[in-house]
A = this chain, B = another copy of it.
Amino acid sequence: MARPQTTRKKRANGVESRQRILDAAVEIAGERGYEGTSIAAVSAKCGLPASSIYWHFKDKDDLIAAVIERSFGTWLAAVELPDEAAGTPVERAAHMAAGVARSLLEAPDFLRLGLMLALENRPTEPRGRTVFLQVRDIAARKITDVVTELFPDLDEEAVRLLTTYAVAGADGLFVQREIQGEAVDLVAMFEFHARMVHDAALNLAARPTT
């Protein structure tokens, strides 16, 4: 604690400026999309000149990618999956889903921006989109793991189906919430969705492959 350790101490700004830039960028990108996020607008919102933005980030594409990465980080921090343990499979699934729903309410930027980027398909894909799709893939794999753990009898095909359906439901409910606002009780809907997927898993486990 006593020694300066590395070169960086408190200095002037630097890290804080980077955060200010990302804060401004995430807000504007959420309003106006990829192309709509102009450097000048970000600069105006965060109070730093364009040159500062280009000192912290290589170019606009790099900035957007950083926005995605950071918003993913804050979302991850908000998730905090409950310890594997208590209750029946239904209860565990519903509890997990509720946790995810709450995290999405608390930190919606990641999924919102990600879906916006994902729906576009340009000839040359922005880095932010790639990052989002990779992260999303990891999340999907996590769901696959949970499903196979809760229902070991399911064949591979059924697990794939359930995973796809689970992710799709989450995306769709999130979109509904974004569009309709507070009229959608995201936590309740996620719990409902979890029960649906659970019941489907039971049925599929009973008679394999319809």
Contacts and interface: CB of A to CB of B under 8 A. Distances in A.
Contacts of A68: none
- Interface SS of A by simple majority: helix
A34 B36 contact: yes
A137 to B, nearest CB: 10
Interface stretch (A2-10, A13-21, A59-67, A173-181): A173-181
Interface in A41-70: none
A209 interface: no
A155 interface: no
A200 to B, nearest CB: 6
Interface in A80-139: 112, 115-116, 118-123, 133, 136
Interface in A9-45: 30-36
A20 B116 CA distance: 26
A77 interface: no
Q: Across the A-B interface, give the 6 residue pairs with the lowest CB-CB distance, nearest first.
A: A172-B172, A168-B172, A35-B36, A35-B35, A171-B172, A168-B173
20 contacts: A30-B120, A32-B34, A32-B120, A33-B34, A33-B120, A34-B36, A35-B35, A116-B116, A121-B178, A161-B192, A164-B173, A164-B176, A164-B184, A164-B189, A165-B189, A165-B192, A171-B172, A172-B172, A172-B173, A172-B175
